[in-house]
A and B are shown apart, each in its own frame.
Chain A
Amino acid sequence: MGLRSYVITRILLTIPTLLLLLSMVFLVMRVLPGDPVALHFEKKASQSQMDEMRHILGLDKPLWGQYADYILGLVDVNYFLAHGYPNLGKSMQTYEEVGGQVFSAFPATLELAIYSMIIACMIGILLGVVASKSYNSVLDHAIRGFGTVTYAIPVFFLGIVFQLIFGVYLHWLPTGLRINPNITPPTTITGLYTIDSLLEGNFTKFLESLKALVLPSLTLGLILSGIFIRLTRTNMLETLRLDFVTAAKARGLRETTVTYGYALRNAFLPILTMMGLQFALLLGGAILTETTFSWPGLGRYIVTRINFRDYTAIQGAVVMFGVFVALVSLVVDILYAYFDPRIRL
C-alpha cells in the first residue's frame, strides 16, 4: 500500500471511531441516570421553568431525536461556515452557543499542551538515553527513581508547590493567567499568544506570555516526563543490543554518533507512538494544571461549568477533547507510516 492510500484508509477509519466516541459521550451525558435539567436546578425550580429550559435546549424530544440533533448539529457545515465553530448546542447557564465558548477556550489549552509536550519529550528522551547508556549504575537508578516519583506526584500538587516557591516566595514568575493582566493580549490570529505576539512583532508581549507559560508547562511537562524516560530507556536498552549497533561501534564510529545517530533514531518510533497516546493523558493533566494556574483553557472551562451544573456545556467540552485526541492520533499514525514503511504493508 502506498502512503497516500494508507492515509486515505486511516482517515476513513477515523469516522466510525469519532461516531462511536460521540455516541459514548451522549450515552454518559443523556442516558445515564440523572436528568441534566433537574440536576442543573438542584430541585430549586418549578416544573414550568424546567419544561421551558428543556424546550429551548431541545431536551424535551425523545432520546433518538436528541441524538439526531446532536450528531447532525456537529456535521452541519453551513452552521460551521456561518459561525466559525460547530453547533454544540446551547449552554444551560447562559443560553449562549457552547461551540463558540469551547472554540475560544481551546487555543489556551493547545498552547499549554504543546509547550508541556516539548518539555516532557526533552527531559524524558535525554534522561532516558543517559540511563540506558549507564545501565544498572547509580545514575541509571537515580534517573529511574526520578521517573517513578514524578509519575506519583499529583500534577496540581506540583503546580501548587511551584506557585509557592517561584511565585509567593521568590516572586520570579507569574502564578496564573496567560499574560500579565495589565497588558492587552495580542490580536487573535492563531490564538496561541507566543505565536500571535511574534506575528504582531511585539517582543514584550512575547516575553510576558512566555513567562506565564513557564510554570504551568513545566509542571505538566515534568509529570509526563517520567513515562518518556521509562519508554526511551527500555527501547534504547533493546536497540543498543542489536547487531547494527555493535557493527557501527566495531567500525570505529564515535560513541555519540552511535547513540544518537543510530540507536536513538531506531528507538524513536515507539516513542512517537507513545507521544500520541500520552496526548490523552496530557489533556487530562491539563484540566488540573489549568485549574491550578487559572489558565483560561478548555479544562478550566469544564471545571467552572461543573460548578454551575451546566451539563450541555460540559458535554460540548468533552466532545472537543475527544475529537482533538482522535485527530492527534490520526496525525501520529500518518507520521508513523511515513517514517516506517513496514506499517503500510
Chain B
Amino acid sequence: MSSSKTKRSMLARLIPGLGSLAKRGPSGWMVITGLVIVLALVVMTALGPWLTPYDPIKHHGPIRAAPSLQYPMGTNHLGQDMLSRTLTGGSIMLQVSALSVLICFLIGVPLGLFSSYVGGMLDSTVSLVIDAVYAFPGLVIAIAIAAMLGTGVINMALSIAVVYIPSYFRIIRSQVLSIKEFAYVEAAKASGAKWHTILSRYIFPNVIPSIVVVATVNFADAVLTAAGLTFIGLGVTKDVPDWGWDLTDGRNYLSTGAWWIITFPGLMIILLALGFTLVGEGLSELLNPKLQR
C-alpha cells in the first residue's frame, strides 16, 4: 500500500501533473496516452540515425523485397531499407509541424489578445480578414502559398501556419471579450496598470488552457497537411528520408502488390497525428465543464 503510494508520488514529482491527470478518468488517460505516443516518436526520430541497421538513403539490397529477417519492413523500388527509413523518416514532419505551431503562436496569440482587447475598428477589420481565411479550404490556401514560396521546411511551415492562425485568433478573441469585462481587470485598470501589463499578466494566463488545446489540434493538422503537401508534389526534398515522401512514392508500385512500402510510413503518420489528437481531445474534454456530470 505504502510502496504504491510512494511510487505514485514519485511519478507525479517526475512529471508534474501526470499523476493528477491519471485521476481524471478516461480523458486524463487520453492525454497521457497521446503524450507517450508523441514522446516515443520524437525520441525514435532523434535517435533514429544510431538505430538504423542500414543507411536509409543508400541503395542496398534487392528491389521491392518483401519483409524478411534481413529487411524486417522490406525494401522500396530503389532497394532502400524501409525499417531504416521508417525509423528516421519523422524529422521533416516534426520540424515542419513544430515550426508552424511556433509561427501560429507567435502571430496568432499577440494578434488575438491585442485586437480583441482594443476592440473597435481594428478588431472588426482583423476579424473580417481572419474569418475569410478561416472559411477558406485550408489545404487550398496552403497549396497556393507553398506553390508560390517554393519548397523547404520553413516555407512549408509558413504555408501551414497561415491556415491555422485564425483558429488561435478566434478562440483567444472569444475569451478575451468576456475576460476583459471581469472586475479584476477593471481593478487593474483603475490602479493604473498599462495595457501591456493587463494583457500579459491578467488576461493571457487565463487563455493559456484554450491555446494549449488549439496548439495540439494544430500540431495534428500540421502533420497531416505536411503529408498532404508532400503527396501532391510540394514536399521538401527527396534526399532526406520522410514518411510523407515514402507514402507518395510507394503508391506508384501498388499494382505490384508491394504493400510494405506504404504501410509502415503511413502508420507512423497516423500514430503521430493520433498522439496529438488524443492530447487535444482529452484536454478539451477536461476543460469543458458542460460534459462533466
A residues with CB within 8 A of B: 16-17, 20-21, 24-25, 28-29, 32-34, 36, 39, 136, 141, 148-149, 151-157, 160-161, 163-164, 168-169, 230, 234, 237-238, 277, 280-281, 283-285, 287-288, 291-292, 302-303, 306-307, 309, 311, 314-315, 318, 321-322, 325-326, 329
Contacting residue for A283 out of B140, B145, B277, CB 8 A: B140
Question: Does B238 belong to the interface (CB within 8 Å)?
Answer: no
**Contact across chains for A17 and B270 when beta carbons are under 8 A apart:** no
Q: A148-B278, A237-B291 are in contact. Are A24 and B266 (CB under 8 A)?
A: no
Instruction: Report how far A309 CA is from B262 CA in the complex, Å.
Output: 28
Instruction: Report how far A288 CA is from B228 CA in the complex, Å.
Output: 7
Chain B interface mostly helix, strand, loop or mixed? Answer: helix
Contacting residue for B224 out of A33, A154, A325, CB 8 A: A154
Contacting residue for A154 out of B147, B150, B227, CB 8 A: B227
Contacting residue for B135 out of A28, A155, A329, CB 8 A: A329
One of B15-23, B112-120, B126-134 at the interface: B126-134
Instruction: Report how far A32 CA is from B271 CA in the complex, Å.
Output: 35
**Closest-CB distance, B226 to chain A (whole angstroms):** 10
**Contact across chains for B291 and A234 when beta carbons are under 8 A apart:** yes
One of B79-87, B204-212, B247-255 at the interface: B247-255
Contacting residue for A152 out of B220, B231, B251, B254, CB 8 A: B220
Instruction: Report how far A315 CA is from B150 CA in the complex, Å.
Output: 16
Most buried by B among A152, A307, A322: A152
Q: Which 10 residue pairs are nearest across A and B when measured between Cβ atoms?
A: A284-B139, A152-B273, A152-B274, A157-B266, A280-B137, A283-B137, A284-B137, A20-B132, A303-B232, A154-B227
B residues with CB within 8 A of A: 26, 128-129, 131-133, 135-141, 143-145, 147-150, 220, 224, 227-228, 231-234, 247, 251, 254-255, 257, 259, 262, 266, 269-271, 273-274, 277-278, 281, 290-291
Residues on B with beta carbons closer than 8 Å to the beta carbon of A283: 137, 139-140
**Contact across chains for B254 and A163 when beta carbons are under 8 A apart:** yes
Which residue on chain B has the smallest CB distance to residue A283? Answer: B137
Instruction: Report how far A149 CA is from B257 CA in the complex, Å.
Output: 25
Instruction: Report how far A284 CA is from B259 CA in the complex, Å.
Output: 26
Instruction: Report how far A60 CA is from B145 CA in the complex, Å.
Output: 22
A-B contact pairs, 8 of them (CB 8 A): A20-B132, A34-B150, A168-B255, A284-B137, A285-B139, A291-B231, A321-B140, A322-B137
**Contact across chains for B144 and A25 when beta carbons are under 8 A apart:** yes
Instruction: Report how far A42 CA is from B147 CA in the complex, Å.
Output: 13
Q: A154-B269, A306-B233 are in contact. Are A325 and B135 (CB under 8 A)?
A: yes
**Contact across chains for A154 and B270 when beta carbons are under 8 A apart:** yes
**Contact across chains for B270 and A168 when beta carbons are under 8 A apart:** no
Instruction: Report how far A202 CA is from B266 CA in the complex, Å.
Output: 40
Residues on B with beta carbons closer than 8 Å to the beta carbon of A281: 137-138
**Contact across chains for B139 and A287 when beta carbons are under 8 A apart:** yes
**Contact across chains for B251 and A292 when beta carbons are under 8 A apart:** yes
Residues on A with beta carbons closer than 8 Å to the beta carbon of B228: 154-156, 284, 287-288
**Closest-CB distance, B51 to chain A (whole angstroms):** 24
Residues on B with beta carbons closer than 8 Å to the beta carbon of A21: 132, 135-136
Most buried by A among B139, B233, B251, B254: B139
**Contact across chains for A288 and B139 when beta carbons are under 8 A apart:** yes
**Contact across chains for A161 and B266 when beta carbons are under 8 A apart:** yes
**Contact across chains for B270 and A28 when beta carbons are under 8 A apart:** no
Q: A24-B133, A148-B278 are in contact. Are A311 and B147 (CB under 8 A)?
A: yes
**Contact across chains for B278 and A287 when beta carbons are under 8 A apart:** no
Instruction: Report how far A306 CA is from B234 CA in the complex, Å.
Output: 9
Contacting residue for A306 out of B139, B143, B274, B281, CB 8 A: B143
**Contact across chains for B247 and A154 when beta carbons are under 8 A apart:** yes
**Contact across chains for A160 and B262 when beta carbons are under 8 A apart:** yes
Q: A163-B254, A307-B233 are in contact. Are A152 and B147 (CB under 8 A)?
A: no
Which residue on chain A has the smallest CB distance to residue B244? Answer: A154
**Closest-CB distance, B245 to chain A (whole angstroms):** 13
**Contact across chains for B135 and A326 when beta carbons are under 8 A apart:** yes
**Contact across chains for B135 and A280 when beta carbons are under 8 A apart:** yes
Which residue on chain B has the smallest CB distance to residue A159? Answer: B251
**Contact across chains for A24 and B270 when beta carbons are under 8 A apart:** no
Contacting residue for A160 out of B132, B139, B149, B251, CB 8 A: B251
**Contact across chains for B270 and A32 when beta carbons are under 8 A apart:** no
**Contact across chains for A238 and B290 when beta carbons are under 8 A apart:** yes
Q: A156-B231, A160-B262, A281-B137 are in contact. Are A318 and B144 (CB under 8 A)?
A: yes
Residues on B with beta carbons closer than 8 Å to the beta carbon of A303: 232-233
**Closest-CB distance, A317 to chain B (whole angstroms):** 8
Residues on B with beta carbons closer than 8 Å to the beta carbon of A287: 139-140, 143, 228, 232
**Contact across chains for B128 and A20 when beta carbons are under 8 A apart:** yes
Instruction: Report how far A292 CA is from B145 CA in the complex, Å.
Output: 22
**Contact across chains for B232 and A32 when beta carbons are under 8 A apart:** no
